[in-house]
Amino acid sequence: MLPFLIRRTFGAVVILVLLSAFTFFVFFAAGDPATMSCGKNCTADNIALIHQNLGLDKPLPQQYWDFLSGIFVGRDYSVGHCNAPCFGYSFATKQDVWATMMDRVPTTASLAIGGVVVFLTIGLGAGLLAAWKRGTILDKAVTGASMVLSSVQIYILGPIALGLFVYSGLMASPKYVPITENPFGWFMGLLLPWVVMATIFTAQYTRMSRSAMIEQLQEEHVRTAKAKGMPARYVFLRYAWRGSLIPIVTILGMDLGSLFGGAMITEFTFSLAGIGRLAVNSVVTLDLPMVLGVLIFSAALILVFNIIVDAAYAFIDPRVRLS
């Protein structure tokens, strides 16, 4: 397992370096960052000063090296020393990019983790129940509901949920409250966004877990276990369940990027100040350091989650470690 994880980690680091280089050269070679940083009514002297302060008068490869090394050892700017991990200062707010992102991470992390828990719990539970009761009214009801819900999008369901539950007075407006300060407030503040964001994923995982479980129930080793007289519930949970997890774990790893996109739309719908909303605002204001920082940070998170999923996949199916 260890060599497998080392290979995956090394590959993730290479991908991250290539991604950071690509985004840096695209952003900083496409235009003059000093002009974007200076804003309106900017003089030539101010632009020249920004070039000097940001190191924009150096060759582009040197600028990238300064940026990359600053992430690990920090970097000096005219406004002071930026401690590692340093992604520079925002053009729009003049605040430390890393500190700004860390202020937003708890909101997005709470939203994403809660959404995963909701759609895995409901989706897998409903899918397994439908497979267990295959051909019954319950199976048809679950399958039909998942097909309907899979066609719903967050930007449609979100306003409907706000109208039904928030504007009618049944629930308070969604907001983020730190779980360390008020666990109940944290739960109630994010409950509606969790349900809305998880809806489309729940439908997908219900169908997938149902089909995976039905396929596993047709496998020879499962039928052999039944033929030996083992209880059907034990065979279902002990043999078929583990085999059905393999495609689900694989899809979950690929869905992490989609989950981040879903969190971004959900943050906008419910006015939550998370990483996704920060990314969109940064793009609108051409805040290059913030856009670059969010992209690299998001990519690193997705790669870490993919390594965790690969490790889980290798644990479930040891043949993966050899490939």
Q: Given a cut of 80, is residue 34 above it in pLDDT?
A: no
Q: 285 φ, ψ to 5°?
A: -90, 5
Let me know: does 35 contact 42? Beta carbons within 8 Å. yes
pLDDT at 188: 92
When pLDDT is averaged across residues 94-121 and rounded to a whole number, the result is 90
- Count Cβ neighbours within 10 Å for each residue of 72-82 and write b for 16 or more, e otherwise: eeebeeeeeeb
pLDDT-derived band at 67, boundaries 50, 70, 90: confident
pLDDT at 193: 92
pLDDT at 269: 86
Q: Given a cut of 70, is residue 317 above it in pLDDT?
A: no
Q: 182 φ, ψ to 5°?
A: -155, 90
Top mean pLDDT of 30-34, 102-106, 277-281 is at: 102-106
Helical (H) or strand (E) element with 261: helix 241-269
Q: How many helices (H) and strands (E) does the chain have?
A: 13, 2
Let me know: does 202 contact 142? Beta carbons within 8 Å. no
Distance (Å, rounded) from C-alpha 191 to C-alpha 187?
6
